[in-house]
Amino acid sequence: MDSHYDYRRFGILYVDDEELSLKNFERAFRDTFRIFTAPNAEEGFRLLEQHADSIAVVMSDQRMPGTKGVQFLERVRQFRPRTIRILATAFSDLDAAIAAVNTGAIYKYITKPFDGESIEQTLKRCLEFFIVQRERDQLLSEKLSAIHKMVITDRILGLGVLAAGLGQHVRNSMAAIRTFIDLAPEMLHRESIDLGRLQNPAFWQDFHAKVQDRMKALVELLNHLSEDAQPTRFEFDSEVSLRDLVAGATARHSEKIAQRRLQVLNRIPADLPHLWVDLPKAEKLLDLILRDEIANLQEQATVKFEASFVAASASICIRIEDDGPGLPEEAIRSLFDPFFVRSDNTDEFGINLMGCYFIVHHHGGTISVEPGADGGLVFQILLPVKPSAGAPGIESEDFLVRVMTNERLWERLLATA
């Protein structure tokens, strides 16, 4: 055994309908490799399913009753693409072997009768290739996790960068506008203009109030963005009750909920396992969700919070359902993109759900949205009860695609600022 590789770390599955061939193969190589044998394709595939993470190489005879070796190895390729596949064939089957190589069904073919020393070297090279490939994938995964951490941090900070870059200019401009608006009633009075003699004094009073409201909303937006410029912690050291988190967020937004006459139903079970979270981010997540619902739902609408424990993944599945107008499918796909708005409400700036997306992934979770059965939208958030310290893992390629898309959008925004 070469000192650099442990050839018994992963197994080799040999499939052949000849019992003697199976026995000879196992006897010849069992001291060097971990050997699995099967007398037919079905039994071989069952063993592969049972030991999927342990088998690195699958070798099959071509001439077997029923499923031929090439067909079996093609099925193996579809099930475990990284598994190294070898076809054992007689000279008369070389055309089938060459075709299998050309279509990618097998890595290599060997001819019968076997040369023991040659096969041993071939199997060692196959295992070495599998191990190197696996180590490369693990290294790539670690690098992607590091990139993922930086991307999450950068995108959360990106909101703060945008606020920092534009905030001062916007505030300076708004200060002049606000001074003018604030002084307007006093100046009208000083100029001895009778408001009652204006054609529509109610219009000017309304105009004054609306401008004040819009300026207040812009200042709040800049403040919310600036909060995100704080360094992101990848520590989840606060144990919290999800029910209490929802109740706290509802209380913080109670005034606006009452103004819109919305009904927020907190149906989170009291006995649900507690979550370990980055508390400021967890509170921000629920604030953003409620802020989005308040901005987009019609008056007297209902928002319902439910949750359940998922034992298989040690996670909490949070379901947030509203009875709003809903969205078409193509709009739902863009719901987490920056500055996407789902209504004509002027209070909606379109960044709330993008913030939710990053906070959920910051905790190693996932968030999705789908149409409700009776209209409205249903958000589903899956959060691990105790996320891993450090950068969260990558659950899907979709996350990086979305992040990189957002990266390009931010670059365009900053370039035109």
**Residue 392: cis peptide before it, omega within 30 degrees of 0:** no
Q: Read off the pLDDT of residues 347-373 as tens digits, 9 standing for 90 and up.
A: 554 567 777 887 888 888 888 888 888
110 shares its domain with 241: no
Measured CA to CA, the distance from residue 153 to residue 147 in angstroms comes to 10
* Residue 34 within any structural domain of the chain: yes
> In 10 A of CB 90, how many CB atoms?
13
pLDDT above 60: residue 217: yes
| pLDDT recorded at residue 408 | 43
> pLDDT tier at 219 (50, 70, 90 boundaries)?
low
Residue 383 host element (H or E): strand 377-384
CA distances from 357 to 26, 59, 214, 219 (A): 52, 45, 26, 23
Q: Read off the pLDDT of residues 221-243 as tens digits, 9 standing for 90 and up.
A: 556 555 544 555 567 889 999 99
Which pair of structure tokens corresponds to residue 238?
Answer: 């606060």
239 shares its domain with 110: no
Strands 55-61 and 11-15: parallel
Which pair of structure tokens corresponds to residue 145?
Answer: 């996790």
Q: Percent of the chain scored above 90 by pLDDT?
A: 30
Which pair of structure tokens corresponds to residue 236?
Answer: 């989840």
| pLDDT recorded at residue 296 | 83
* Residue 144 within any structural domain of the chain: no
Phi, psi of 200 (to 5 degrees): -145, 80
Least confident of 205-219, 307-321, 332-346: 332-346
110 shares its domain with 250: no
| pLDDT recorded at residue 413 | 41
* Residue 274 within any structural domain of the chain: yes
> pLDDT tier at 1 (50, 70, 90 boundaries)?
very low
247 shares its domain with 384: yes
* Residue 106 within any structural domain of the chain: yes
Q: What is the CATH number of the domain that holds 99?
A: 3.40.50.2300
User: Cβ(7)–Cβ(33) under 8 Å?
Assistant: yes
Q: What is the CATH number of the domain that holds 282?
A: 3.30.565.10
Residue span of the structural domain in which 381 resides: 235-389
User: Cβ(82)–Cβ(107) under 8 Å?
Assistant: no
* Residue 174 within any structural domain of the chain: no
| pLDDT recorded at residue 142 | 65
Measured CA to CA, the distance from residue 60 to residue 84 in angstroms comes to 11
Measured CA to CA, the distance from residue 122 to residue 173 in angstroms comes to 74
Measured CA to CA, the distance from residue 387 to residue 346 in angstroms comes to 37
Q: Read off the pLDDT of residues 143-192 as tens digits, 9 standing for 90 and up.
A: 665 555 555 555 555 555 555 555 555 555 566 666 666 666 665 565 55
> pLDDT tier at 53 (50, 70, 90 boundaries)?
confident
| pLDDT recorded at residue 42 | 93
* Residue 126 within any structural domain of the chain: no
Which domain-ending residue is among 98, 114, 130? Answer: 114
> pLDDT tier at 339 (50, 70, 90 boundaries)?
low
Residue 345: strand pairing partners = none
Residue 239: strand pairing partners = 276
Which domain-ending residue is among 70, 92, 114? Answer: 114
The number of folded domains in the chain is 2
Residue 38: strand pairing partners = 15
Measured CA to CA, the distance from residue 407 to residue 140 in angstroms comes to 21
pLDDT above 60: residue 272: yes
| pLDDT recorded at residue 410 | 42
100 shares its domain with 240: no
Higher pLDDT, 298 or 406: 298
Which domain-ending residue is among 96, 114, 132? Answer: 114
* Residue 284 within any structural domain of the chain: yes
For range 245-273, the mean pLDDT = 95
pLDDT above 60: residue 406: no
- What percentage of the chain's residues is helix, strand, coil (to nearest 5)? 55, 15, 30
Q: Which residues contact 93 (CB under 8 A, 6 or more apart)?
A: 62, 63
pLDDT above 80: residue 405: no
Residue 308: strand pairing partners = 317
* Residue 324 within any structural domain of the chain: yes
- Mark residue 158 as left, alpha or beta (left: phi above 0; alpha: psi -120 to 50; beta: remaining): alpha
> pLDDT tier at 244 (50, 70, 90 boundaries)?
very high
241 shares its domain with 385: yes
> pLDDT tier at 259 (50, 70, 90 boundaries)?
very high
Residue 219 host element (H or E): helix 201-227
User: Cβ(403)–Cβ(155) under 8 Å?
Assistant: yes
